A and B are shown apart, each in its own frame.
Chain A
Amino acid sequence: MAEASTPPATPTAARGGTGGGLRSSLKELVWPLVALGGVLLFNLIFSQGFFHIEVKEGHLFGSLIDILNRAAPVMLLGLGMTLVVATGGVDLSVGAVMAISGAVAALLVKQPGMPLAAVLGISLAASLAAGVWNGLLVALLDIQPMVGTLILMVAGRGIAQLITNGQIITFENKPFEFLGGGFLFGLPFTITLVVVFYLVLGYLARRTAFGLFVESVGDNFEASRLAGVNAALVKTVAYTLCGLCAGMAGLIITADIKAADSSNVGMYLELDAILSAVIGGTSLAGGRFNLTGALIGALLIQSLTTTILTRGVPVQFTLVVKAIVIVAVCLIQSDAARKYLLRRQGARV
């Protein structure tokens, strides 16, 4: 873990490993990568034109690009969630925080003469504040993460509806819409955003002591506090970063649909975020995390959804498939299940 590694330049480039920690990183990511590879292989064989990428008006188009673009919000949430889960917590409020940042942004964008920087700054500040609030409840007041963040999950959506007065606020603002629908370097701009967040968080986690602190706090809060780590601060920062990621994800979706839909935006996405963190090898018990894994987890979830859609299977089967994936991933990571299998094999031999 102390081994520092350069985060790869793009999410998909993670397949190539991460420099210094190449071997350990690859080993941790082998199962999620196998699963993702399996889904892509299935499509290579059965879905015609799945890997077809064409250039239209200087932009890249194709199923793969679409997966990257659509997975972007969950990838962002997954990154933040990974840090929180690594401290031994969980953040149920990310969906509500998305709604809050979207609502604030939509309200500000409608004001004539409001500069874009102010719109982004204020709405991200709102999500940052939400993250700090969660952090304070969990770290300082020592409330269980699931209950502590449940408060904001319930109340946050109410606050977002209060901001938009319970209505769906639509807007027209080209610069702001660029966040969700723009293109940079021929790729959707959302991908650039994910890469930036990944690089910054990856730098914090692997090039500074922050990552080590997060793991030690998640492993044993009391021991790391006694060892001189400001454990409460580390936890608060993790929740704050998670809130920031959620705020950004909310802005992307709001910009994409050109509206703030407080009652529906980000609904159930907290579950997808937790799922992508867990698929990526982050233990729910805390103390171990993998940011690259969270991106792969999010991509896996989105590839499954896209595959189901392109295969013409009714979309409602996605939920069933997701359920099976969760149980499978949990069983693979469970020591008890592994021991059970080994015992069975031993009995047969």
Chain B
Amino acid sequence: MTRRRLNRKHIPLLATSLVCLLLYGAAALRYPGFATPSVFVNLLADNAVLGVAALGMTFVILSGGIDLSVGAVVGCTGILLATMVDRLHIHPALAIPILLLAGTVFGAGMGALVRWFELPPFLVTLAGMLLARGIGFVTSLESVPLEHPFLVRLAGVQLPVGGGVGLSLAALVFLGLFAVSLHLSQYTKFGRNVYALGGNSVSAMLMGLPCGRTTVLIYAFSTFCSTLAGIVNSLYTLSGNASAAAGLELDAIAAVVIGGTLLSGGVGHIAGTVMGVLILGIIQTTITFEGTLSSWWTKIAIGVLLLTFILLQRFIQSRATAKS
């Protein structure tokens, strides 16, 4: 019994991993340069911003909520970091922790509104999105370059992994946060509470789990991740731009859903999200490799994949309910 449940829980994750491998394999067969370590490392680095944001989003969705503020927070963080460093001459080593703290508080505020005033997460985070975009645009309408030597050095950090390639800081942050999220979701009380809350919030409350604290922490963690993604993004582009990462939240939601996490909450796995992010990345890279395919095919492909995965999930779910 336990065994079957474990299997069922992991079917979407397995399916996603399989699709990811198939896509990668197909691309590697078609383009000789695709299977090289440098392309794979770049895949991690190029999708680090999306990945970091999607990891935070996974917790929100696991708890049955949604966070629309992700992209706006990334843009807002970028422009604030650039303004603090470039105009106010604050050392980045101080500015980055300040921003991470501010982001966490911002997220906690959204979580508090969701929890204690029982407002729909959709609307609260929509307001958060507009507020963050607004703050970003009010700070500066133009892109501000990041030229501080500390940041330039940080952006150039490489961890050699052999084969003449190195993991960039962005990739390291992505992998590091993946490890932290995996631990949080699988081996801590917080993670268990997130699953319980998403599975059935009333039961979770009746069981005496700290629902209020958990909700606030979830949104705080998600916005912390978006802020981190914003910092990674500004290091990647070495500039701050208030309109950066428009629509990133949708890509993040898509990555989470493709990764097998149910939007109704309670079911899913952090590793699935990483697979989802890699799938989106592989599609993007394939289209770049192809050269003749236009960028809109990415959107159509993502739409088709989303549909396929959702239908697969529905199928698994209905099979499961039919059995029980």
Q: Is A111 an interface residue (CB 8 A)?
A: no
B298 to chain A minimum Cβ distance, whole angstroms, is: 7
The interface residues of chain A lying within 8 Å CB-to-CB of B117 are: 330-331, 334, 336-337, 340
Q: Is B188 an interface residue (CB 8 A)?
A: no
Q: How far is the CA of A322 from the CA of B131 in the complex (A)?
A: 8
The interface residues of chain A lying within 8 Å CB-to-CB of B210 are: none
Q: Is B302 an interface residue (CB 8 A)?
A: yes
Instruction: Pick the residue among A166, A284, A336 that contacts B296 (CB under 8 A).
Output: A166
The interface residues of chain A lying within 8 Å CB-to-CB of B40 are: none
Q: Is A159 an interface residue (CB 8 A)?
A: yes
With A166-B296, A316-B138 in contact, do A151 and B130 touch (Cβ < 8 Å)?
Answer: no
The interface residues of chain A lying within 8 Å CB-to-CB of B35 are: none
Chain A CB within 10 Å, residue with most, of B117, B257, B264, B311: B117
Secondary structure dominating the interface of B: helix
Q: Is A154 an interface residue (CB 8 A)?
A: yes
Interface string of A139-179 (1 = CB under 8 A from B): 00111101110111111111101100110000000000000
Question: Do A150 and B306 touch across chains, with their CB atoms under 8 A apart?
Answer: yes
B111 to chain A minimum Cβ distance, whole angstroms, is: 14
Interface string of A297-337 (1 = CB under 8 A from B): 00000000000000000101111111110110011001111
Question: Do A334 and B118 touch across chains, with their CB atoms under 8 A apart?
Answer: yes
Question: Do A316 and B124 touch across chains, with their CB atoms under 8 A apart?
Answer: no
Q: Which of A106-159 contact B (CB under 8 A)?
A: 137, 141-144, 146-148, 150-159
Q: Is B294 an interface residue (CB 8 A)?
A: yes
Question: Do A142 and B314 touch across chains, with their CB atoms under 8 A apart?
Answer: yes
The interface residues of chain B lying within 8 Å CB-to-CB of A316 are: 134, 137-138, 141
A-B pair count, CB < 8 Å, reads: 132
Instruction: Pick the residue among B113, B253, B297 that contacts A150 (CB under 8 A).
Output: B253
B309 to chain A minimum Cβ distance, whole angstroms, is: 10
A residues whose Cβ falls under 8 Å from a Cβ of B: 90, 137, 141-144, 146-148, 150-159, 161-162, 165-166, 271, 274-275, 278, 284-285, 314, 316-324, 326-327, 330-331, 334-337, 340
B residues whose Cβ falls under 8 Å from a Cβ of A: 66, 113, 116-120, 122-124, 126-131, 133-135, 137-138, 141, 250, 253-254, 257, 263-264, 294-300, 302-304, 306-307, 310-311, 314
Identify the 7 closest CB pairs spanning chains A and B, nearest first: A155-B303, A158-B299, A319-B134, A316-B137, A320-B134, A161-B296, A323-B131
27 residue pairs of the A-B complex, CB under 8 angstroms, read A146-B122, A147-B253, A147-B306, A147-B310, A151-B306, A154-B254, A154-B299, A154-B303, A154-B306, A156-B303, A157-B299, A161-B299, A162-B294, A316-B134, A317-B134, A319-B134, A322-B127, A323-B128, A323-B129, A323-B131, A324-B131, A326-B130, A327-B119, A330-B113, A330-B123, A336-B117, A336-B118
